[in-house]
Amino acid sequence: MGKAPYEEANVATGNKTMNCYANWLVKSKKFIEDDAKRPKVLSAVDQPWENSQQGRLRHIINEQLDLREYAVDMYIQEIPPGSKSGKHYHASEEMLFILEGSGYDLHWDPKPRIEDKYYWEWKEQALKLPWSDSYFVYIPPLVVHQHFNASKTEKARFISNTCRTVKDIGYDWLVQLENCPEWK
């Protein structure tokens, strides 16, 4: 009978020492103390607006707001009549809930090529997904997407939600391919 893998690897030997676990306990205690001071409620007047490359956003949850929430980013986006958002992609999936208006999304699915490394390309033909009030729209990870307001007279508004933990584990990809028309 052969040796167990850990015996061959000599995993029980060595004399280096560290204080990793003790440091984790200190860090965790500080996190718990700091977390208790963070707000659980953010009133409407404290939700900041931003005019960005993506469009007009009202931030509800993100790491910069320093709330007692660590898993998602959420904002309300407004698209003026006849306009569109920026065109972009990110590593996290995204969910939209349409509050008002009607329009459509264009989605370009990825088609990665793996050789000596990953090469990211996207399909040339976009998938058109119409939406209106109270629709839910799912956007998979790494799908290039853009939102369009179909109305020439009314704004469209939706809530966007993405998973922040994807960024926290190192996939902090947000690539802006085209800015919204209102961005100067």
Domain boundaries, the chain: 5-34, 40-178
pLDDT tens, residue by residue, 6-31: 555 566 677 788 889 999 999 999 99
The helix/strand/coil state of 108 is: strand
Q: Are 90 and 162 spatial neighbours (Cβ–Cβ below 8 Å)?
A: yes
CATH code linked to domain 40-178 = 2.60.120.10
Token pair for 76: 């309300």
Q: Any idea how long the chain is? A: 184
Angle formed at CA 156 by CA 42 and CA 73, multiple of 5 degrees: 35
Give the confidence band of 49 by pLDDT, cuts at 50, 70, 90: very high
- 124-142 mean pLDDT: 97
**Cβ distance 83 to 181 under 8 Å?**
yes
Q: Is the pTM above the cut of 0.75?
A: yes
